[in-house]
Amino acid sequence: MSVEDVAGAIRRMEVRGAAEIARSAAEALKDEAEDFQGRSLEEFRHSLTLAKEELLASRPTAISLWNGVQTVLKDESSAKTVDELRRSVMRNADDFIKRSKEAVETIGRVGSRRLRSGDKVLTHCNSKAALGVLIQAHMEGKELDVYATESRPWRQGLQTVKDLTAAGIRPTLIVDSAVRWLMKDLDAVVVGADTICSNGALINKIGTSQIALAAHEARVPFMVCAETFKFSPKTMYGELVEIEERDSNEVAKAGEVPPGTKILNPVFDATPPEYIDAIVTEIGVVPPSAAYEIIVRQLGQEFIFEANSKW
Ligand code: RI2
């Protein structure tokens, strides 16, 4: 698929999930590099810059997209020939995709240790990292009672119950507003992440912060599953995460509400670190207070510099 096609599919949420978005963008950059016909390095760099800008503009919130694109293009300035640049983009894209898939598998194994047979667990939206933990625990023979929120307005919870059912788990679907009612009966909440800020705050699907609040009130452990490329170097120097707002017709179609009704459709919200008990990454379980160190160690100075270069 062309960069334009991939960016469009991400924008329309045909491709969704923070990690999947990043992997698709990496694949699109790889194809762009493979198909480049010109001979000038300058022209090649220009076409990659345009591709990068188009992909980054497709959805603003998940840092995985920025980290993925940055990883693929990290050798751009040092490459001396078109061929060298092409090879580096293709190699980096393959590496990123492979590492990101392996990270989900590792998170599954690490996170499942936190769950016991008989646990009642709630998940929100459709996070492959969070589902990986639940499915791994099930494969290890633990009997889980899994609840999935509907996740209005896109209703990704329907996909979640399909994914869980396909893995042999019989889930229970609830409407988003039933979370607090249910919370007293739960043993854990397991969610994914679009972005983890340097102070450990979680940016995830709208409604996540309400779930965390209810979990905190009921003293139910709240676990976040996040690959290290979900941590944001951009937030280290104070940049705030842009919360995407989508079209009002995702909430109510024309004719369903009186003309002139204002509709707000924020897609993500921020959960403060004090409501998060553990973040499960591919390098282990960490507290939210470790976010700064993860960014420095795993992503490194180059990423931090690039992320804040406009500062
Ligand atoms: P994985 C999704 O965003 C959800 O917010 C989900 O929790 C998060 O990405 C992480 O998903 P959207 O693309 O990367 O559905 O774990 O808006 O699959």
pLDDT tens readout for residues 219-267: 999 999 999 999 999 999 889 999 999 999 999 998 999 999 999 999 9
Dihedral sign, Cα of residue 33, residue 38, residue 41, residue 44: negative
Distance CA 268, CA 202 (A): 10
Ligand 1 probe mutation, 127, 244, 247, most atoms within 8 A of CB: 127
Confidence (pLDDT) at 286: 98
Find the length of the chain. 311
Tell me the per-residue pLDDT of 182-206, one tens digit each, with 9 for 90 and over: 999 999 999 999 999 999 999 999 9
Q: Per the residue annotation, which of 31, 95, 119, 125 is the catalytic one? A: 125
Mean pLDDT of 272-292: 98
Using the predicted structure, report yes or no on whether residue 56 has a pLDDT greater than 70. yes
Q: Which atom of ligand 1 lies nearest, measured to the CA of 268?
A: 5
Report field, pTM of the whole predicted structure over 0.85: yes
Maximum separation of any 2 CA atoms in the chain, in Å? 64
Mean pLDDT of 154-181: 98
Among the listed residues 12, 18, 81, 89, the one whose alpha carbon sits nearest the alpha carbon of residue 51: 89
In Å, how far from its chain's centre is CA 120?
Answer: 24
Q: Annotated catalytic, 225? A: no
Distance CA 158, CA 154 (A): 9
Confidence (pLDDT) at 306: 86
Dihedral sign, Cα of residue 111, residue 112, residue 117, residue 118: positive
| Whole-number average pLDDT of the chain | 96
Confidence (pLDDT) at 302: 84
Q: Per the residue annotation, which of 31, 119, 194, 277 is the catalytic one? A: 194
Confidence (pLDDT) at 20: 98
| Å from CA of 16 to ligand 1 middle | 7
Tell me the per-residue pLDDT of 119-131, one tens digit each, with 9 for 90 and over: 999 999 999 999 9
Mean pLDDT of 272-297: 97
Confidence (pLDDT) at 141: 98
Structural tokens at position 299: 């992503």
Confidence at 311, pLDDT banded by 50, 70, 90: low
Q: Return the residue matching tokens 């420095």.
A: 296
Confidence (pLDDT) at 128: 98
Using the predicted structure, report yes or no on whether residue 32 has a pLDDT greater than 80. yes
Using the predicted structure, report yes or no on whether residue 217 has a pLDDT greater than 70. yes
Which domains are delineated in the chain? 3-105 (1.20.120.420), 113-307 (3.40.50.10470)
Q: Annotated catalytic, 187? A: no
Residue nearest to atom 12 of ligand 1 (CA): 17
